[in-house]
A and B are shown apart, each in its own frame.
Chain A
Amino acid sequence: MMKEATLRVFRGDSKGGQTVDYRVPIAPGMVVLDALHYIQGHLAPDLAVRWNCKAGKCGSCSAEVNGRPRLTCKTRMDDLPVDQPITVLPMKSFPRIKDLVTDVSWNYRVNRKIPAFEPRPGVEWKISQLDVDRVQEFRKCIECFLCQNVCHVLREHDKMEQFAGPRFFVRIAGLEMHPLDGRDRAGLLKDQLGIGFCNITKCCTEVCPEEIRITDNAIIPLKERVVDEFYDPLTMLFRKFRGDKVQSV
């Protein structure tokens, strides 16, 4: 007899809804997204799910599986206790559209506020591999928005208007640490993107499917940059002084 699992999936829209149980046969290596596709194909053709690549590369199929924010395409059924129903809920921090699909358009609006790469005037297009390696971590973000979903500044405190969220600090880190970028985004981070709201609980880092160390490697260095630029003129002067010395050697 083929093994089966029960998926307890949220069905509903912006007005409300409830979970519905579906029995799904389990095949070896199956992931939660496969189970959702089975439901669409055989039990509930109008079940709304976002997905694209089903290979962990596009970041479309985010949901909360047994309470944990995951990419459903990388969540294997054999890692879950299938003797109990598996709950699949939409990301909580974003407005519901239907079933597992949420309105993530706010993220795209935040992204518009971030100035794109602009090379320093007169740069030579020579870069060392070490400098490329340093920013790789930030540039591999697939925009699944799971970090945005778990960040309590957004999830519990709804600071969408004042705070950009971990995804966009990662994005800015990828730009600021680009070896040839000539812009300064510190003022933006402080005033419009609210980096000060982050109190480094590292929830974002825990859920990142790309294993980006968001808090340690992106947010904390950016916070330091903001502090240096706006709150610590002595450090700034010292750095300038030290910089001058290095250059004069």
Chain B
Amino acid sequence: MTANYETREHDVLIIGAGGAGLRAALEALAQGASVGVVCKSLLGKAHTVMAEGGIAAAMANVDPADNWKTHFRDTMRGGKFLNNWRMAQLHAQEAPDRVRELEQWGALFDRTEDGAILQRAFGGHTFKRLCHVGDRTGLEMIRTLQDRGVHQGIDVYMECTVTRLLTDGGRVAGAFAYWRETGRLIVFKAKSIVIATGGIGKAWRVTSNSWEYTGDGMALACEAGAELMDMEFVQFHPTGMVWPPGVQGILVTEAVRGEGGILRNKVGERFMERYDPKRMELSTRDVVARSIYTEVKEGRGTEHGGAYLDISHKPAEYVKKKLPSMYHQFKELADVDITKGPMEVGPTCHYMMGGVRVDAETAQSTVPGLFAAGEAAAGLHGSNRLGGNSLSDLLVFGRRAGLAAADHAKRVAAPSLDNAQIEQAEKELLAPFSNTGTESPYAVHRDLQEVMQNLVGIYRTQEDLKKALLDLEKLKARAAKASVEGSRLFNPGWHLSYDLKSMLIVSEAVTLSALARTESRGAHSRIDYPNADPVWEKKNNIIVHEGGEMKRRESPVPEMPPDLKQILAEDKA
């Protein structure tokens, strides 16, 4: 029965073809490893293409006073000191080199007067720091990496979904997957695997994330024995579209505020004066999102339940040049000309700070041979990510993961595959075809999104979170019974039934962690515990899968060395 699959072998298998996955692939390849990249979509469609605002790197092209120390400090402050200090340090130190390298591979950024890479202001960054090209920085980045990868000889398995990691005595041995197009099965044998699968936003109803963002990598890693960390920290981006209903949640780049956009409520007040008078619209995302939410909740929201974001005081040509895709997005989808009037915006589920717990230097998880980078990994951003720190994260830690994965592959012997694991994975994957009930994976997904949206959103309470855990149990039971119609040929209902399993795993991890953290910090806001608690500043929540059950424990935040403490103490804001 298990002769039903083809087998491929690589030194390093990378799951996910966004910025982190492609950067990891390039690095592993440069180390001489044979590299395979598996992705759920076509190459070049990963979520990175949607990144708009820019890449944060202390290049000091616009503000000469900028340096890695300030970037480090901004990142730690933005994350409310829960960040892994070493990751924040490496990120701040290495980001400029990663940007230069991208330029040398052909990426074109907007320029300063003297021909250097132009940098723009962004929330939480002390200096103008975001290297960008208009508002389509992510597209430029992914095309550059993609084309370099193709020519350097990466094998790409497009529209292929990994549903289980295979292990050999506690270390990584490979992955079980299926081709979305045909439904045929494929087994990868690999000495190292890099998880670069991005986030989990599709578990919420209002989200800027694409269908791919179902937490697969985190779920795969967790089931293979790896630890997840900081899962309670889900970033709600302050500005998503709110009207019309079909476009609700689509991202409105922070670059609108970076370029001078102003937030007002329905009575015309510039309400950020109440919440962060110093940084105003360029406060951190957690603060701005909560501010908009509060304005709406207290009856000062716009017609469709948002806030007004206005850039029309800037010259129309400037707006069209610096924010071209925003201009078109509003014109085409909402009949709004942003050069003439305000946009309506509200919070949208956007980014996962938590993820696979990794070693700062090597990006290796707690499972030997299993690495993680980008949004799928935890640590760099602590409890709240600064805008622009995501693209730099992908490059810095994508590279580090690729390097360490290739190095690991050189040092270990070939693993052996366990047929029992493969058979089990096949049985699970095909179960929806033999389920006979009427439960639809789409219906379970819709209900999951309501639970997470209503009970595990921007503001949380013990009561809501406990109810969410009970609801998730019911949803898990329903998902296990979901059945699908039709054949294995490109069947989205079947595809969703697997994605659903991942979403349920990460949703439970988020809810468990959020319930335990009895304080408010960064993106995690508890109505019943509105203040930060110094005890919780020293603890990360860890989630593990043990004996078929999800368990939570706490782990001390690593102690920062004195020289870095000194950097944080300087210029106390």
The answer, among B43, B104, B136, B246, for a CB contact under 8 Å with A108, is: B43
Do A29 and B45 contact each other (CB < 8 Å), given the known contacts A97-B490, A132-B109? Answer: no
Residue contact A58 to B50, C-beta cutoff 8 Å: yes
Residue contact A98 to B489, C-beta cutoff 8 Å: yes
Proximity bits, B127-140, A CB within 8 Å = 1, else 0 = 00000011010011
The answer, among A52, A104, A128, for a CB contact under 8 Å with B211, is: A52
Cβ distance B360 to chain A, nearest Cβ, rounded Å: 30
Residue contact B251 to A59, C-beta cutoff 8 Å: no
Do A115 and B151 contact each other (CB < 8 Å), given the known contacts A55-B329, A97-B490? Answer: yes
Cβ distance A177 to chain B, nearest Cβ, rounded Å: 10
Cβ distance B495 to chain A, nearest Cβ, rounded Å: 10
Which residue of chain A is the closest to B212 with respect to CB atoms? Answer: A52
Cβ distance A181 to chain B, nearest Cβ, rounded Å: 7
The answer, among A34, A44, A53, A178, for a CB contact under 8 Å with B108, is: A178
Pick out which of these stretches binds chain A: B189-197, B263-271, B438-446, B545-553.
B438-446
Proximity bits, A68-89, B CB within 8 Å = 1, else 0 = 0000001010000000000000
For A30, what are the chain B residues with a Cβ–Cβ distance below 8 Å? 244-246
Do A136 and B45 contact each other (CB < 8 Å), given the known contacts A125-B104, A127-B111? Answer: no
Do A136 and B134 contact each other (CB < 8 Å), given the known contacts A57-B50, A126-B116? Answer: yes
Proximity bits, A112-141, B CB within 8 Å = 1, else 0 = 100111010000011111001001100110
Residue contact B151 to A142, C-beta cutoff 8 Å: no
Is B44 an interface residue when CB atoms closer than 8 A count as contact?
yes
Residue of A27, A45, A54, A181 most packed against chain B (CB within 10 A): A45
Cβ distance B17 to chain A, nearest Cβ, rounded Å: 12
Kindly state the separation between the CA atoms of A111 and B45 in the bound complex, as whole angstroms: 15
Proximity bits, B418-451, A CB within 8 Å = 1, else 0 = 0000000000000000000000111100100000
Pick out which of these stretches binds chain A: B142-150, B361-369, B517-525, B534-542.
B142-150
Kindly state the separation between the CA atoms of A76 and B246 in the bound complex, as whole angstroms: 10
Proximity bits, A84-103, B CB within 8 Å = 1, else 0 = 00000000000001110101
Cβ distance A29 to chain B, nearest Cβ, rounded Å: 2
Residue contact B244 to A27, C-beta cutoff 8 Å: yes
Residue contact A29 to B211, C-beta cutoff 8 Å: no
Residue contact A34 to B211, C-beta cutoff 8 Å: no
For A111, what are the chain B residues with a Cβ–Cβ distance below 8 Å? 147, 150
Residue contact A48 to B492, C-beta cutoff 8 Å: yes
Kindly state the separation between the CA atoms of A46 and B41 in the bound complex, as whole angstroms: 17
Residue contact B210 to A58, C-beta cutoff 8 Å: yes
Which residue of chain B is the closest to A75 with respect to CB atoms? Answer: B332
- Which residues A52-68 have CB closer than 8 A to chain B? 52-60
Do A74 and B441 contact each other (CB < 8 Å), given the known contacts A46-B494, A60-B45, A140-B139? Answer: no
Residue contact B442 to A41, C-beta cutoff 8 Å: yes
Residue contact B140 to A53, C-beta cutoff 8 Å: no
Residue contact A29 to B243, C-beta cutoff 8 Å: yes
For A128, what are the chain B residues with a Cβ–Cβ distance below 8 Å? 111, 115
Residue of B45, B134, B493 most packed against chain A (CB within 10 A): B45
A-B contact pairs, 28 of them (CB 8 A): A13-B489, A27-B246, A29-B333, A40-B492, A41-B442, A44-B485, A49-B492, A50-B42, A52-B45, A52-B210, A53-B210, A54-B210, A55-B250, A58-B50, A59-B45, A97-B490, A101-B181, A101-B490, A103-B181, A104-B42, A108-B158, A117-B105, A125-B100, A127-B115, A129-B110, A136-B108, A139-B139, A140-B136
Is B60 an interface residue when CB atoms closer than 8 A count as contact?
no
Interface of A is mostly: loop
Proximity bits, B243-257, A CB within 8 Å = 1, else 0 = 111110011000000
Is A151 an interface residue when CB atoms closer than 8 A count as contact?
no
Do A178 and B49 contact each other (CB < 8 Å), given the known contacts A27-B245, A53-B210? Answer: no
Proximity bits, B206-249, A CB within 8 Å = 1, else 0 = 00001110000000000000000000000000000001111100
Which residue of chain B is the closest to A34 with respect to CB atoms? Answer: B246
Kindly state the separation between the CA atoms of A111 and B245 in the bound complex, as whole angstroms: 38
Residue contact B147 to A53, C-beta cutoff 8 Å: no
Shortest beta-carbon contacts, A-B, top 6: A29-B244, A117-B106, A46-B486, A45-B493, A126-B115, A48-B490
Residue of A42, A58, A129 most packed against chain B (CB within 10 A): A58
Residue contact B139 to A57, C-beta cutoff 8 Å: yes
Is B186 an interface residue when CB atoms closer than 8 A count as contact?
no
Residue of B139, B489, B490 most packed against chain A (CB within 10 A): B490
For B443, what are the chain A residues with a Cβ–Cβ distance below 8 Å? 41
The answer, among A101, A119, A143, for a CB contact under 8 Å with B44, is: A143
Is A28 an interface residue when CB atoms closer than 8 A count as contact?
yes
Is B334 an interface residue when CB atoms closer than 8 A count as contact?
yes
Residue contact B110 to A55, C-beta cutoff 8 Å: no
Do A57 and B49 contact each other (CB < 8 Å), given the known contacts A29-B334, A97-B489, A112-B150? Answer: yes
Residue contact A56 to B329, C-beta cutoff 8 Å: yes
Kindly state the separation between the CA atoms of A29 and B485 in the bound complex, as whole angstroms: 30
Kindly state the separation between the CA atoms of A181 and B144 in the bound complex, as whole angstroms: 13
Kindly state the separation between the CA atoms of A105 and B181 in the bound complex, as whole angstroms: 12
Is A31 an interface residue when CB atoms closer than 8 A count as contact?
yes
Is B484 an interface residue when CB atoms closer than 8 A count as contact?
yes
Residue contact A132 to B133, C-beta cutoff 8 Å: yes
Is B114 an interface residue when CB atoms closer than 8 A count as contact?
yes
Proximity bits, B385-427, A CB within 8 Å = 1, else 0 = 0000000000000000000000000000000000000000000
Is B491 an interface residue when CB atoms closer than 8 A count as contact?
yes
Residue contact B50 to A53, C-beta cutoff 8 Å: yes
Cβ distance B483 to chain A, nearest Cβ, rounded Å: 9
Residue contact B147 to A116, C-beta cutoff 8 Å: yes
Do A45 and B139 contact each other (CB < 8 Å), given the known contacts A52-B210, A127-B111, A136-B134? Answer: no
Kindly state the separation between the CA atoms of A137 and B324 in the bound complex, as whole angstroms: 11
Kindly state the separation between the CA atoms of A104 and B494 in the bound complex, as whole angstroms: 22
Residue contact A28 to B245, C-beta cutoff 8 Å: yes
Cβ distance B209 to chain A, nearest Cβ, rounded Å: 9
Which residue of chain B is the closest to A13 with respect to CB atoms? Answer: B489
For B114, what are the chain A residues with a Cβ–Cβ distance below 8 Å? 126
Is B325 an interface residue when CB atoms closer than 8 A count as contact?
yes
Cβ distance A180 to chain B, nearest Cβ, rounded Å: 9
For B106, what are the chain A residues with a Cβ–Cβ distance below 8 Å? 116-117, 175, 178, 181
For B115, what are the chain A residues with a Cβ–Cβ distance below 8 Å? 126-128
For A116, what are the chain B residues with a Cβ–Cβ distance below 8 Å? 105-106, 147-148, 150-151
Kindly state the separation between the CA atoms of A44 and B490 in the bound complex, as whole angstroms: 13
Do A58 and B133 contact each other (CB < 8 Å), given the known contacts A29-B244, A175-B106? Answer: no
Kindly state the separation between the CA atoms of A152 and B44 in the bound complex, as whole angstroms: 26
Do A48 and B151 contact each other (CB < 8 Å), given the known contacts A58-B210, A129-B110, A143-B44? Answer: no
The answer, among A42, A45, A136, for a CB contact under 8 Å with B484, is: A45
